[in-house]
Amino acid sequence: MATKQLMAKIERFKKTLESERQLLIADLAMALHAVDSTEVQRVLQKLKTLSCDEIVDALADEESQEVNRILNRLRAVDASLAQTELGLYGFCADCEKSIETDMLQRDATTQRCYACDQIHKHVIKNNKRILL
């Protein structure tokens, strides 16, 4: 793929990731409103000024499943955004080839190409057997 096209593709996914991050922060704010804790309410007040790492740190003790689900996703989105800055976005973590566009469209935080993803899923499924 020509470099120009590749850059445009990465730019598109970067926008997707940025809007997902905004949505996640909004979801997180909603979920935190429901938590009855002064500490959490303090985090909530400065949510928009905190980096992803700071948010994850500040809410490390939070046990709400919903909050943790959002934080996990936020971490994945933030890591992918960092990769777009470093020019590492869209490459498979295992084989280093470009990840198929439709894989990225399904989930913009995907870290593996189709082939490696299949192997990875297979390994997880059979992990027990392989370890034994």
Binding residues for Zn ion (CB under 5 A): 92, 94-95, 113, 116
Q: What's the min distance (Å) between Cβ of 21 and Zn ion?
A: 25
Of 31 and 113, CB closest to Zn ion: 113
Cβ 91 to Zn ion shortest distance, Å: 9
Q: With respect to Zn ion, which residue has the nearer C-beta, 1 or 131? A: 1
Q: How far is the CB of 125 from Zn ion (least distance, A)?
A: 18
Nearer to Zn ion, 29 or 119 (CB): 119
Which segments within the chain are labelled E, that is strand?
none
Quote the least distance from Cβ 20 to Zn ion, whole Å.
Answer: 23
Identify which of residues 59 and 92 has a Cβ nearer to Zn ion in the complex: 92
Write phi, then psi, for 61 (nearest 5 degrees): -90, -5
For residues 121 and 111, is the Cβ–Cβ distance under 8 A? no
| Cβ(91)–Cβ(99) below 8 Å | yes
Query: Are residues 46 and 27 in contact, defined by beta-carbon separation less than 8 angstroms?
Result: no
Q: Residue 102, class by beta-carbon neighbours within 10 Å (0-12 exposed, 13-18 middle, 19+ buried)?
A: exposed
